[in-house]
């Protein structure tokens, strides 16, 4: 089955969904949710490798950080558009740090806001987001209907997911982020880049994260990456059938 927007819903036909992760381990965890058949390997312009499933999901390890994530996602979106098969949805997916106690290790978070937390300027009076400098944007908001469908299907908690270029490694930095973004549940490094590329192509975006570690002092012993990857696989197993009933034209 391949998904397409038909009569306002994602049903069987030719449109696809792009899932962008940072690294192959995350991409492969998502791929495990599609057990029927081996994905086709597709080379994008440049060196990026895309895995194409038989059910309309293309999986891309776009790279670590917002710049690589944006570039890789934009390449895939452009290639699809030029081929006459544009994507109906882009999903930024992977593991993340969770702000405690709201997003414990092993839990899932779905972004109702995708925010660039450190895009701006440090001043004597504190941090200024780039929007206050008169440039660009710092947040993208997935359709509320899509966030609801995802939360109901997977059990993910809705909240802001921050995109950072430097992973938080101290309690002081974690506290600063929570002060600036009190609704934040998690931090990762790619969501905003993926969202920028999707917005440039007019495609809705979703960010779904499995929490692998607490945001705060860097403690490798507390990381549960394997558990988070397993949670990501389980989440996509539930999300894929749920998206068949989501209306891609419902931006509420």
Q: What is the pLDDT of residues 27-45, one digit of tens each?
A: 999 999 998 878 999 999 8
Give the CA distances from residue 15 to residues 109, 187, 248, in Å, rounded to whole numbers and listed in that order: 26, 30, 12
Give the CA distances from residue 62 to residues 6, 58, 100, 135, 233, in Å, rounded to whole numbers and listed in that order: 29, 12, 28, 25, 18
Res 10: pLDDT: 40
Is residue 239 within 8 Å of residue 150, measured between CB atoms?
yes
Q: Which residues contact 118 (CB under 8 A, 6 or more apart)?
A: 127, 164, 165, 166
d(CA 100, CA 215): 7
Which residues are registered as beta bridge partners of 40?
Answer: 52
Q: What is the DSSP letter of 194?
A: H
What's the whole-number average pLDDT of the chain? 90
Res 5: pLDDT: 36
Please tell me the pTM assigned to this model.
0.91
Q: Determine the length of the chain.
A: 252
Res 250: pLDDT: 58
pLDDT tier for residue 1 given thresholds of 50, 70 and 90: very low
Res 120: pLDDT: 82
Res 252: pLDDT: 57
Q: Which range among 4-18, 52-66, 117-131, 144-158 shows the weakest confidence by mean pLDDT?
A: 4-18
Res 47: pLDDT: 79
Q: At what angle do helices 225-243 and 144-154 cross, to 10 degrees?
A: 120
pLDDT tier for residue 119 given thresholds of 50, 70 and 90: confident
Q: What is the pLDDT of residues 184-238, one digit of tens each?
A: 999 999 999 999 999 999 999 999 999 999 999 998 888 999 999 999 999 999 9
Q: What is the pLDDT of residues 138-170, one digit of tens each?
A: 999 999 999 999 999 999 999 999 999 999 999
Res 244: pLDDT: 85
d(CA 59, CA 78): 15
More confident position, 167 or 136? 167
């Amino acid at each position: 089955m391949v998904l397409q927007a038909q009569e306002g819903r994602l049903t069987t036909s030719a449109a696809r969904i792009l899932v962008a992760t940072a690294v192959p381990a995350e991409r492969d965890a998502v791929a495990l949710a599609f057990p029927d058949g081996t994905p086709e390997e597709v080379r994008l312009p440049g060196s990026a490798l895309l895995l194409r499933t038989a059910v309309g999901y293309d999986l891309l390890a776009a790279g670590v950080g917002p710049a690589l994530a944006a570039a890789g996602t934009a390449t895939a979106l452009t290639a699809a558009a030029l081929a006459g098969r544009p994507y109906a949805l882009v999903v930024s997916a992977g593991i993340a740090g969770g702000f405690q106690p709201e997003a414990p290790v092993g839990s899932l978070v779905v972004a109702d806001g995708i925010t660039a937390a450190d895009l701006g300027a440090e001043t004597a009076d504190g941090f200024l987001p780039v929007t206050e400098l008169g440039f660009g944007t710092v947040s993208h908001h997935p359709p509320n209907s899509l966030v609801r469908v995802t939360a109901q299907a997977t059990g993910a908690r809705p909240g802001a997911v921050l995109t950072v270029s430097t992973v938080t490694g101290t309690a002081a930095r974690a506290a600063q982020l929570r002060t600036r973004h009190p609704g934040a549940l998690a931090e990762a490094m790619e969501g905003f880049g993926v969202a920028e590329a999707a917005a440039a192509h007019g495609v809705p975006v979703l960010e779904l994260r499995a929490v692998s570690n607490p945001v705060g002092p860097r403690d490798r012993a507390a990381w549960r990456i394997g558990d988070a990857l397993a949670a990501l696989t389980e989440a996509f197993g539930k999300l894929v059938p749920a998206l068949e009933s989501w209306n891609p034209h419902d931006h509420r």
